[in-house]
Amino acid sequence: MLNNLILLVFLFSSFQLFADGAIGFKSGSNLTSHYIYGNIYTYCPKRSRSHICRMDYLESGDRDKFIHPAIDANKVTLEARHQQGSRRSKKVSFDAVQGESKKYFNLWLGSLLQRPLLRSGKNTINYKLQKNGTIVTTGTFIVNVKASESKRCRDRIYHSQNDSDCGNPGHLCQRYFLEQAYCY
């Protein structure tokens, strides 16, 4: 009897969480990207330098989890087909109890070691859920990324006691955008 009650509570809570049949990213399927930039001038003990800071980010966050109604799976693979024709694939563990990926997918940040799953425009996402290597279900959802107008922040001057800030102002750019409230 207690086991049936626990199962009933679990099914009800899963139904509430996924009442709309949500499959995709927690942040939804219509995302907005923002490109911001601005000039900083850095004065260091031995030299000075001007630098253009640039940042491109998703309004809802650059990382997100994939969600799917309660299904007995332990791995999810997402393959994005971009409007421009390129493809990108990512695979992570899946938590069947929570109905979501155990880790976040990198949706937007590009670096030397990683590439983002999404690009501006229409992204067709094919998903595959597996349990111990056996495919449980597959499907497709669409994520649209709309690029907002780029914004320029006010110029800023920094004085530093560290000469490396004039050579590589990366952390100053992060500080700059925080102080500028991301150009809002």
Domain ranges of the chain: 21-183
- Residue scoring higher pLDDT (14 or 98): 98
| CATH level 3 topology of 21-183 | Immunoglobulin-like (2.60.40)
User: Which pLDDT score is estimated for 14?
Assistant: 36
User: 3-state SS string over the chain?
Assistant: CHHHHHHHHHHHHHHHHCCCCCCEECCCCEEEEEEEEEEEEEECCCCEEEEEEEEEEECCCCEECEECCCCCCCEEEEEEEECCCCEEEEEEEEECCCCEECCCEECCCCCCCCCCCCCCEEEEEEEEEEECCEEEEEEEEEEEEEECCCEECCCEEEECCCCHHHHCCHHHHHHHHHHCHHHC
pLDDT at 21: 60
Does the pLDDT value for residue 162 go beyond 50?
A: yes
Q: Among 10-14, 57-61, 75-79, 162-166, name the one with the lowest average pLDDT.
A: 10-14
pLDDT class for 30, splitting at 50, 70, 90?
Answer: very high
CB 128 within 8 A of CB 76: yes
Lowest mean pLDDT among 2-16, 23-37, 62-76: 2-16
Q: What is the predicted pLDDT for the residue at 12?
A: 35
pLDDT at res. 84: 87
pLDDT of 17 above 60: no
Question: Could you tell me which residues come within 8 angstroms of residue 166 by beta carbon, excluding any fewer than 6 positions away?
Answer: 42, 43, 44, 46, 47, 48, 49, 160
pLDDT-derived band at 184 (thresholds 50, 70, 90) equals confident
Span 46-66, average pLDDT: 94
16 C-beta neighbours (distance < 10 Å), count: 8
Arithmetic mean of pLDDT, 137-157? 96
Does 7 score more than 50 pLDDT? no
Stretch 50-78: mean pLDDT: 94
CA angle 121, 123, 126 (to 5 degrees): 175
pTM over 0.95: no
